[in-house]
Amino acid sequence: MERPAAPAAREAAEIRLTITSPEQMRELGRRLAKLLRAGDLVMLSGELGAGKTTMTRGLGEGLGVRGAVTSPTFVIARVHPSLGDGPPLVHVDAYRLAGGLDEMEDLDLDVSLPESVIVVEWGEGKVEELTEDRLQIVIHRAVGTAPAGDGTEPAETDEVRHVVLTGLGERWADAPLETLTG
């Protein structure tokens, strides 16, 4: 008797965007919030000043949570309760944490995950074990100048960011990430 073929692994859903201002980064966060639900883990990567907290601020606005979303670098994590019927936002900055999930256990993210949206800055190698279903966002800062696009002088790229959003797991397999491009 032949074994049935294993189902093909789904490819990760991925989109790439170019963001040209902090307001556009914040707006991307607001649009992304419409796709998020309780139980979602979002991992943000990028160098210092790339826009991770700016995007998270937009997520907080889009989710309708209480409190100003600021970098939790020194407190490690902040919980922003929903002002409506949506999930709370748990914003974690793992920059100062050297260990993996073991060091993160004190934050009880595994307990918070089912009813919250958890956003972890600098979470690579630290929180992947929480769930196979996650949205990984990498923000790259552009360097130098970029074409203006209208035939005029090139624009400085201090504000330009290249953002790659990759949805992993069943949760993100059919998520409409393409709606973020418009």
Is-contact 63 52, C-beta < 8 A?
no
Query: 3-state DSSP call for residue 146?
Result: strand
User: Can you give the pLDDT at residue 3?
Assistant: 42
Are 51 and 23 in contact by the 8 Å Cβ rule? The answer is: no
Residue 33: per-residue pLDDT: 97
pLDDT of residue 77: 82
Q: Which helix (H) or strand (E) holds 19?
A: strand 13-19
Q: What integer pLDDT is reported at residue 46 of this predicted model?
A: 93
**What is the CB neighbour count within 10 angstroms for residue 36?**
20
Rounded Cα–Cα distance for residues 90 and 92 (Å) = 6
Own/partner contacts of 65-72, CB < 8 Å, gap of 24 or more, are 65/89, 71/121
**pLDDT of amino acid 8:** 44
Given a contact cutoff of 8 angstroms between Cβ atoms, the answer to whether 1 and 161 are in contact is no
Q: What's the pLDDT at 12?
A: 75
Residue 1, pLDDT score = 42
Q: Give residue 127's pLDDT.
A: 82
Per-residue pLDDT in tens (0 to 9) along the chain, 182 residues: 444 444 444 567 899 999 999 999 999 999 999 999 999 999 999 998 999 999 999 999 999 999 889 887 666 788 899 999 999 999 988 877 666 555 566 566 766 778 999 999 988 887 888 888 999 999 999 776 555 555 555 555 678 999 999 999 999 998 999 989 87
Residue 175 has φ and ψ, to the nearest 5°, of -65, 140
Residue 176 identity: P
